[in-house]
């Protein structure tokens, strides 16, 4: 049995302003109609003996993971919630321990949730090769056959071809599995060109495959403190159905390290399976331009975009018309609350913008103007010192917490659907064009009893309008 372990803990800061800390790139449909998380699980459809995925994610992303997988008919066997990020080695250790909980010892297929891999058939073939080797006790890394002297990736140097490799991989010889000679850091341009000319070097994809027991055995050998912390955090975790909330203190005390550094660079059992499937980690706007569909002038245009005398640019409009005239090799990304403009060869510096926004305490680094919640979403429309206007969408059957505010009152106007509103001791049913007023200090709850999304306009007024002015008394989503 193969258990996909999907790592969904990244923040995607290099794709700001589309990707934000609370809504990173894996939850966005950057290439095609599916989000990157959805594509990660659906592209494995032809892998034999595949079980339901295990997803490791930040605890704030729990409901987005569940909802997005449900949209494509996938039900994870477990969603493991990290209270704090500790890199990939502990994340996979927790997944391996959870996979063994019922006495099984499956093969784990470790996949980042934010990669583009257009050739699913080639990926599935590589996975089948990896499975055969994992069952022999090998620890597999998938090395991407390089198409250019890329300086943004680490590389894997292949060693000796495995005996019998041609028997398990019916591909050309360069796709035969090899012992790993060594891992090498991101090179400079001249070194990368040398790797490409020499052959036998592969991009490090960050995808792995091994039996759960073998990974834990090697991790115990090289990082016993990490395994101990993971075991304690999982043993003390709170579980509800398939949701596992790791114990915070034990997990926070776990050493932080990647699979590469913690295990793969040290083990004698590392094997690289070459992969030629159009892989791209979409780690920057220039990478997204590379994989996007281009017009006759080499422009990738997304949304309401007009381009005149413009070439080789990435132009993305989210909420309004974007017009570009006479520019070349630019990235222009428009969202409701921010606009990014930069040359394609300087997109790696976008993360510095995010750092400066965080240092300034600005919400744009973390939140979109549209914020997703387990019950739906809200979008900020207008805001001044003592008032704020939001558009709120509540999914069918969903309900906000019973709550109260110390510093603000709220006016609600229903514009679509039906609302069941609890206001103090009173229960109201409101439909389109009806409204109500929630005075400061009054407990209240909003619910959608209908079969279509409920949409309403909320006008807040008061001395403080922050999202932390919420005192919850009852919440079906387990928030405090």
pLDDT at 166: 43
pLDDT at 170: 38
Q: What share of the chain is helix, strand, coil (3-state, %, to 5)?
A: 25, 35, 40
The domain ranges of the chain are 2-275, 295-349, 370-474
The third-level CATH classification (topology) of the domain covering 370-474 is Jelly Rolls (2.60.120)
Distance from C-alpha of 250 to C-alpha of 83, rounded to nearest angstrom: 10
10-39 average pLDDT score: 91
Residue 152 pLDDT grade (very low, low, confident, very high; cuts 50, 70, 90): confident
Q: Could you read off the pLDDT of 276-288 as tens digits, one per residue?
A: 999 999 989 999 9
The gap between the terminal CA atoms of the chain, to the nearest Å, is 38
Lowest mean pLDDT among 93-97, 220-224, 360-364, 449-453: 360-364
Residue 65 pLDDT grade (very low, low, confident, very high; cuts 50, 70, 90): very high
Whether 2-275 shares its CATH topology with 370-474 is answered: no
Residue 323 pLDDT grade (very low, low, confident, very high; cuts 50, 70, 90): very high
pLDDT at 163: 65
pLDDT at 168: 40
The third-level CATH classification (topology) of the domain covering 2-275 is Spore Coat Polysaccharide Biosynthesis Protein SpsA; Chain A (3.90.550)
Residue carrying structure tokens 């381009």: 307
- Calculate Rg over the CA atoms of the chain: 25
Question: Going by DSSP bridges, is the β-strand pair 270-275/139-144 parallel, antiparallel, or unpaired?
Answer: parallel
pLDDT at 371: 85
């Amino acid at each position: 049995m193969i258990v996909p372990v999907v790592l969904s803990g990244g923040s995607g800061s290099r794709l700001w302003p589309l990707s934000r800390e609370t809504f990173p790139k894996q939850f966005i449909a950057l290439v095609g109609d599916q989000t990157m998380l959805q594509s990660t699980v659906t592209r494995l459809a032809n892998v034999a003996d595949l079980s339901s995925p295990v997803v490791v994610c930040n605890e704030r992303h729990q409901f987005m993971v569940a909802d997005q997988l449900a949209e494509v008919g996938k039900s994870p066997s477990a969603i493991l919630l990290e209270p704090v990020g500790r890199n990939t080695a502990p994340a996979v250790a927790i997944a391996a321990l959870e996979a063994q909980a019922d006495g099984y010892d499956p093969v784990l297929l470790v996949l980042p949730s934010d990669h583009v891999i257009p050739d699913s058939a080639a990926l599935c073939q590589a996975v089948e090769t990896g499975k055969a080797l994992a069952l022999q006790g090998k620890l597999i890394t998938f090395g991407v056959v390089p198409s250019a002297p890329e300086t943004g990736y680490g590389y894997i140097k292949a060693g000796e071809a495995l005996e019998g490799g041609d028997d398990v991989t019916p591909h050309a010889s360069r796709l035969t599995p090899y012992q790993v000679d060594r891992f090498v850091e991101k090179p400079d341009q001249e070194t990368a060109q040398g790797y490409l000319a020499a052959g036998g070097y592969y991009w490090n994809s960050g995808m792995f495959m091994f039996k759960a027991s073998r990974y834990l055995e090697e991790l115990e050998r090289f990082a016993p403190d990490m395994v101990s912390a993971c075991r304690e955090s999982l043993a003390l975790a709170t579980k509800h159905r398939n949701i596992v909330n790791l114990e915070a203190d034990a997990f926070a005390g776990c050493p932080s390290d990647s699979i590469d550094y913690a295990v793969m660079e040290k083990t004698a059992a590392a094997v690289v399976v070459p992969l030629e499937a159009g892989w791209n980690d979409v780690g920057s706007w220039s990478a997204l331009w590379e994989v996007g569909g281009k017009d006759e002038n080499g422009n990738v245009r997304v949304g309401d975009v007009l381009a005149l005398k413009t070439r080789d640019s990435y132009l993305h409009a989210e909420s309004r018309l974007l017009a570009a005239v006479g520019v070349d090799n630019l990235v222009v990304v428009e969202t409701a609350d921010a606009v990014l403009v930069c040359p394609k060869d300087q997109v790696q510096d976008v993360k510095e913008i995010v750092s400066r926004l965080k240092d300034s305490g600005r919400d744009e680094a973390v939140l979109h103007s549209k914020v997703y919640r387990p019950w739906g979403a809200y979008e900020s429309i207008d805001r001044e010192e003592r008032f704020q206007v939001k558009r709120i969408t509540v999914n069918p059957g969903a309900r906000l917490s019973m709550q109260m505010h110390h510093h603000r009152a709220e006016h609600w106007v229903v514009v679509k659907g039906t609302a069941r509103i609890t206001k103090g001791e009173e229960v109201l049913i409101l439909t389109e064009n009806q409204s109500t007023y929630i005075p400061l200090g009054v407990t209240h709850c909003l619910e959608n009893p209908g079969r279509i999304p409920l949409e309403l306009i909320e006008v807040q007024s008061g001395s403080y309008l922050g999202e932390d002015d919420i005192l919850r008394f009852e919440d079906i989503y387990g928030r405090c």
